[in-house]
Amino acid sequence: MNPTIPLKFVSSNRRVREDRRFVAGQGRYVADIALEGLLHVAVVPSQYPAARIVSINSIEAMKMPGVHYALTGEELAKAVDPLMNGLETPNVRRYPLAVGQVRYVGEWVVAVVAETRAQAEDAAEKVRVEYEPLPYVIDAEEALDPSSPPVHPPHGSNLLLDKTFVWGEVDKHFAESPRHLSFRVVWGRSSTVPIETFGVAAKWDPWREMLDVWASIQMPKYSDQIARSLRIPLNNVRVHQDVDVGGSYGVKRGIKQTVIVAHLARVLGRPVRLIEDRLDNMRAGDAHGPGPDLRCRGRLQ
């Protein structure tokens, strides 16, 4: 690089190309996208931290005006593969809707589809779910105690990953160091909260076998994860990239939401969307960060 040539873009005062449309209210967020024949989803959440699902009765809900469908986890699990969790835990199966058991308050149990979101919410209130409450554990350290109830019973314990990473001659250096240091760091579960909740709309074209997705998403491998769960090739998923995202800060992952609407679009033959309201978002969206409890030991020379 020739230092005598002044930089054209770096450190110069410039306007941002996107700002003009945003200040005029002409952004194009997922909730602004109008698709012909669009249907809307509302979800029925769990009221229990852990419970067996005994039965689901959607008869009254289906009689409500504008209602098209009530999707249960059991039905969905037959049509899709579990969501990727990045761990070698084949018996920890995460589905978009609870299957057989709920594992936290707010977990989505039934997805109700109607002509409008308001109608879907009205009908969701009519879905009757019978639960048998189970013992639960909410503290991570307590969860490791063998007497604690397992969150995923088929897995056998609450330990998902136990791995040792070693760089250098740790034991030798620790033994040789004169100064010791140890401390514990704990902080509560936290999350970022974009002003726009997550939302997604999907359309399935059975003749081209093409899934079109519009979502509030910026995540790499989003289409890949959807395709895997829906058991379709990656190149049959088209994620539209001209959708503005109303903040994300790392929490917008939206796989379960997308699998739900994509499956419903396939079943119903019409585009379907799920726009989380703030309650959906905060109790069962993607906005759940970990609660670290770190035990640290160091040796100083």
Partner 1 sequence: MRGRPVKVRLSINGRLREADVEPRKSLLDTLREDFLLVGSHAGCEHGVCGACTVLIDGEPSRACLMFAVQADGYEITTIEGLAPAPGELSIVQDAFCETHGLQCGYCTPGMILTAHALLTHNDSPTRDDIVEAISGNICRCTGYGQIVEAVEFAADRLRKTNAPRHPEVAIADEPVRLAKSKAPRQGVLEAVQTDAPRGGRS
CB of residue 148 vs partner 1: minimum separation in angstroms? 35
Looking at residue 211, its amino acid is L
Instruction: Kindly report the backbone phi and psi dihedral angles of residue 115, in degrees, each rounded to the nearest multiple of 5, phi listed first.
Output: -65, -35
Q: Which of residues 46-75 bind partner 1 (CB under 8 A)?
A: none
Strand partners, 244: 29
Choose the binding region for partner 1 from 24-32, 103-111, 140-148, 202-210 (rule: CB under 8 A): 24-32
CB of residue 282 vs partner 1: minimum separation in angstroms? 10
What does the block give as tokens for 138?
Answer: 């909410």
Regarding beta strands 272-275 and 199-205, do their DSSP bridges make them parallel or antiparallel, or are they unpaired?
antiparallel
Which of 72/248 has CB closer to partner 1? 248
For residues 245 to 274, the per-residue mask of contacts with partner 1, x marking binding by CB under 8 A and - elsewhere, is: xxxxx-------------------------
Distance CA 39, CA 265 (A): 9
In a 10 Å sphere around its CB, with 0-12 CB exposed, 13-18 middle and 19+ buried, how is residue 219 labelled? Answer: middle
What does the block give as tokens for 40?
Answer: 């809307």
CB of residue 5 vs partner 1: minimum separation in angstroms? 16
What does the block give as tokens for 74?
Answer: 């059991």
Which of 20/221 has CB closer to partner 1? 20
CB 263 within 8 A of CB 71: yes
Choose the binding region for partner 1 from 101-109, 155-163, 203-211, 242-250 (rule: CB under 8 A): 242-250
Which residue in 2, 19, 88, 188 binds partner 1 (CB under 8 A)?
Answer: 19
Per rule CB under 8 A, is residue 14 in the interface with partner 1? yes
User: Around Cβ 116, how many Cβ atoms within 10 Å?
Assistant: 14
Looking at residue 298, its amino acid is G
CB of residue 62 vs partner 1: minimum separation in angstroms? 17
CB of residue 14 vs partner 1: minimum separation in angstroms? 5
Choose the binding region for partner 1 from 187-195, 200-208, 220-228, 285-293 (rule: CB under 8 A): 187-195
Which residue in 139, 192, 221, 269 binds partner 1 (CB under 8 A)?
Answer: 192
Closest CA to 80 of 218, 212, 267: 267
Rounded to the nearest 10°, the torsion over CA 84, 87, 92, 98 is: -30
Per rule CB under 8 A, is residue 7 in the interface with partner 1? no
* Residue whose tokens read 């669009």: 38
281: helix, strand or coil = helix
Per rule CB under 8 A, is residue 212 in the interface with partner 1? no
CB of residue 261 vs partner 1: minimum separation in angstroms? 18
Q: Which of residues 105-164 bind partner 1 (CB under 8 A)?
A: 118, 122
Residues forming contacts to partner 1 in the complex (CB under 8 A) are 12-16, 18-27, 29, 31-32, 34, 118, 122, 192-196, 244-249, 275, 277-278
